[in-house]
Chain A
Amino acid sequence: MSRVFIALQDNENARFIVEAIGEDNPEAEVKHSPAMIRVEADDRLVIRRETVEEKLGRDWDTQELQVDMISIGGNVDEDDDSFTLYWNS
């Protein structure tokens, strides 16, 4: 078992994204530090477009993540509907 993580700049957008992550990944752990929010989970973390759109109340492209994301750990799988981080081991 290994930890995957995503770190986002702490801004308005990120708060909604983190809320969506929490809903879709109940076991994920959210760590706040100055100017940055880090979300960690064991082996796998999924960000779903639908959930983020619901939180934001507007259309959201999974690639918009790239504006606020500052670091990641894990393999990436990205498509129209979700952005997933995972380890195989």
Chain B
Amino acid sequence: MSVEIKTAEITPIRQTYGHTKRRFGDKPATRYQEASFDIQPTTNFHYRPMFDEHHELYDTGYTALVMEDWYAFSDPRQFYYGAWVAARAKLQENTESSFAFFEKRGLGARLNDDVRRLLTRCLLPLRHAEMGANMNNVGIAANAYGTTLSQAHMYHGMDRLAVAQYLSRIGLLIDESPGALLAEAKTLWMEEAAWQGVRRYVEDSLVVEDWAELSLAQNLIFDGLLYPFLLESLDARLMEIDGGDIAILTDFMGDWFKDGSRFIDALFKTLAGESEANRVQLTRWVAHWRSRAVEALTPVAIDADIELDAALAVLDKRLAKLGLLETH
């Protein structure tokens, strides 16, 4: 083959990496494909983990679900690191200008006490729940098999840290003496009866060992109920009490949730679509965690004088579309 290159052409001798070619065909590959598929070590591991001798370093057995090909999942957003960070920098830039606008106009000082109270009781404690979501997703990134699954959870986990940090900034921004409202919200998180269901849900999720069950409990069910609650119901309630300006600060959460949901829906569609056994297992987990999430969030909703029904309807519609809602 080297002989034919005597011409004036500088011709490539291959189009892409061997593993990329075997999966996607002999043609130039996208950056997402080259950076995400079949790059994780698969065999000849030298030592068993000292912390878990029942598994290999990278092991498909960290979940009860079974896939013939663990790279069947592909992130619809095609996020590799560079694409993710570019998308998030844009989100950050927009959010930053919203926060700057809010601050410059002194909108924080203009909030009435009811609004401030509702935010402290209903929104700010969630920064701790977001920390839990961060830990869960990063843990999944460590245990899930294959780069496409792992990296999407890693980005999702870092996103949650960002949400927790933005919520903290909201707490600082609406506070007369920065830090006081956040401290109050933390006390609610730790002690207030209305929040104990959520805190228990989060702590219980932190000990779930099966990564797919954990992603379901966290990303599909809990967030799937919480975010519609925040973005629709809480937002409407804030408007009623003249706190509509807050939407300037929480807007990013809507954009982020929409983006993240594309990943989560694709994930569970792929996992459930693989086999009836997977679907049955997922449905069982959904039944368990859905009722727990409703139970956990109901007191928070009652405390804020908001109905949870609308948010639950959004979640159920999503679950039904995924074919994971048990119908009796």
A–B direct contact (CB < 8 Å): no
